[in-house]
Amino acid sequence: MFRRILVANRGEIAARIMRSCDALGIETVVVHSDADHGAPWLEDAAETVCLGPGRPRDSYLCASAVLQAAEQTDCQALHPGYGFLAENGVFAARCEQQGLTFIGPGAAAIRRMGDKVAAKRTMAEHGLRTIPGSDGILEDVEQARRVADDVGYPVLVKATAGGGGKGMRRCDDAKDLETGFSEAAIEAQNAFGDASLYLEKLIEGGRHIEFQVLCDAYGNAVHLGERDCSIQRNYQKLIEESPSPGFAAADRDRIGKRVAQALAASGYVNAGTVEFLQDSDGLLYFMEVNARLQVEHPVTEMTTGVDLVEQQIRIAANEPLSFAQDDLRFTGHAIEFRINAEDVDAGFRPDPGTISSFTAPDGVAGVRWDSAVRAGYRIPPWYDSMIGKLIVHGGTRDEALEQAGRALDSLAIEGVKTTVGLHRRILADAAFRAGRYDLNRLAEILE
Instruction: Give the contacts of 146 (CB within 8 A, at least 6 positions apart).
Output: none
Given 66, 84, 103, the domain boundary residue is 103
Provide the pLDDT for residue 148. 98
Question: Has 292 been annotated as catalytic?
Answer: yes
Q: Considering its fold, how many domains does the chain have in total?
A: 3
Given 174, 201, 228, the domain boundary residue is 201
C-alpha span between 400 and 236 (Å, rounded): 23
The DSSP code sequence of 150-192 is HH-SSEEEEEEEEETTEEEEEESSHHHHHHHHHHHHHHHHHHH
Structural domain including 144 reads 132-201
Higher pLDDT among residues 239 and 115, named by residue: 239
C-alpha span between 328 and 151 (Å, rounded): 41
Residue 113 lies in a domain: no
Among 367, 311, 360, which residue's Cα sits nearest to residue 336?
367
Residue 81 has pLDDT above 80, yes or no: yes
Helix, strand, or coil here: 200? strand
C-alpha span between 165 and 234 (Å, rounded): 7
Backbone angles phi, psi at 403, to 5 degrees: -60, -40
**Given pLDDT bands bounded at 50, 70 and 90, which one contains residue 193?**
confident
Digit-coded pLDDT (tens) for 381-434? 999 999 999 999 999 999 999 999 999 999 999 999 999 999 999 999 999 999
Is residue 138 located within the same domain as residue 97? no
Is residue 254 located within the same domain as residue 403? yes
Under DSSP, the state recorded for 354 is: B
Among 332, 342, 363, 359, which residue's Cα sits nearest to residue 416?
342
Provide the pLDDT for residue 164. 67
Provide the pLDDT for residue 322. 97
Among 205, 443, 265, 437, which residue's Cα sits nearest to residue 335?
437
Cα diameter, the chain: 58
Mean pLDDT of the chain: 95
Name the pTM for this structure: 0.93
Is residue 280 located within the same domain as residue 331? yes
Is residue 427 located within the same domain as residue 302? yes
Name the amino acid, one letter, at 345: D
Is residue 317 located within the same domain as residue 408? yes
Is residue 10 located within the same domain as residue 144? no
Given 170, 201, 232, the domain boundary residue is 201
Residue 42 lies in a domain: yes
Is residue 262 located within the same domain as residue 295? yes
Instruction: Give the contacts of 134 (CB within 8 A, at least 6 positions apart).
Output: 117, 143, 144, 147, 198, 199, 200
**Given pLDDT bands bounded at 50, 70 and 90, which one contains residue 255?**
very high
| Long-range pairs, 121-128, Cβ under 8 A, ≥24 | 122/262, 122/266, 123/262, 123/274, 123/286, 124/286, 125/262, 126/258, 126/261, 126/262, 126/265, 127/258, 128/258, 128/259, 128/262, 128/284, 128/286
C-alpha span between 300 and 385 (Å, rounded): 23
Digit-coded pLDDT (tens) for 311-351? 999 999 999 999 999 999 999 999 999 999 999 999 999 99
Catalytic residue among 292, 314, 338, 368: 292
Helix, strand, or coil here: 209? strand
Is residue 70 located within the same domain as residue 93? yes
Residue 116 lies in a domain: no
Backbone angles phi, psi at 383, to 5 degrees: -120, 180
